[in-house]
Amino acid sequence: MRGLKARGHHGVFPKEREEGQTFIVDLVLGLDTRPAAADDDLTKTVHYGIVAEEVVAVVQGEPVDLIETLAEHIAQVCLKHDVVREVEVCVHKPDAPITVPFDDVTVTITRSRA
């Protein structure tokens, strides 16, 4: 999934916590899709609509200081789905409080089942 957007109140500065800002999340889920494809069965894969809703709920939820922490929380939500073996999470913070011109601030992590 690319470009999931949600408003959150994450950041270390009071203004970020009070006013909030838009965060964008990209996900790559690692799973074996062959069983679902063979039977054309949604129950044998991950429902991306549900994952999207869960990720947005994390972004809209309890504020954290760092987008690294936000990415970790998102990864853990994705890994709760039994079929997901690995996840890559990229959190974009396009309105980060930086005093010089920039296009985007991102943090990308990869997590897998131990």
| 4 membership: H or E segment, kind and range | strand 4-8
CA–CA gap between residue 78 and residue 82 (Å, rounded): 9
What strands lie across the sheet with 4-8, from one edge to the other?
4-8, 21-30, 86-92, 106-112
Could you confirm whether 15 is annotated as catalytic?
A: no
Short-list 18, 96, 98, CA closest to 106: 96
Task: Give, in order, the Cα–Cα distances in Å from 27 to each of 5, 13, 48.
Answer: 12, 27, 10
Single out the catalytic residue among 5, 44, 80, 93: 93
Query: Which tokens belong to 93?
Result: 């913070």
Residues recognised as catalytic: 93
